[in-house]
Amino acid sequence: MTLTLDAPAKVNLWLLVGPLRDDGFHDVDTLFCALELADTVSVDTTAGGGAGIRLEVDHAPPLQSMPELGSDHRNLAVQAATAMLDAMRRPRGLGIDLVKRIPPGGGLGGGSSDAGAVLRALDQACPGELDADRRQELAAGLGSDVPFFASGQALARGLGRGELLDPLPTLSPRTVVLALPHVHIATAEAYRWLDQDRSNGDAPPPPELGKPVPAALGWDDIAATARNDFEAVVFRRYPELGRLRDRLAHHGASPALLAGSGSTVFGVFDDEAAAATAAEDLRSRFADLFVVTSRTRPR
145-174: average pLDDT? 95
For residue 262, what pLDDT band results from cuts at 50, 70 and 90? confident
Interatomic CA distance for residues 211 and 225, integer angstroms = 11
6-35: average pLDDT? 95
- Taking the complete model, does pTM exceed 0.85, yes or no? yes
Catalytic residue among 114, 123, 145, 229: 145
Number of neighbouring beta carbons within 10 Å of residue 61: 7
**Does residue 51 register a pLDDT over 70?**
no
* Nearest alpha carbon to residue 88 among 121, 64, 65: 121
* 240-261 pLDDT, tens digit each: 999 999 999 999 999 999 999 9
Indicate if 10 belongs to the active site.
Answer: yes
Q: Domain 2-167 is of which CATH architecture?
A: 2-Layer Sandwich (3.30)
Interatomic CA distance for residues 70 and 207, integer angstroms = 36
User: What does pLDDT average to over the chain?
Assistant: 93
Residue-level pLDDT at 156: 96
Indicate if 145 belongs to the active site.
Answer: yes
Q: What angle do CA 97, 101, 103 make, to 5 degrees?
A: 120
**Does residue 215 register a pLDDT over 90?**
no
Residue-level pLDDT at 24: 86
Residue-level pLDDT at 298: 86
Catalytic residue among 10, 27, 100, 114: 10
Superfamily assignment of 175-295 in CATH? Answer: GHMP kinase, C-terminal domain (3.30.70.890)
* 26-39 pLDDT, tens digit each: 999 999 999 999 99
Q: Which sequence spans correspond to the domains of the chain?
A: 2-167, 175-295
Residue-level pLDDT at 93: 82
**Does residue 237 register a pLDDT over 60?**
yes
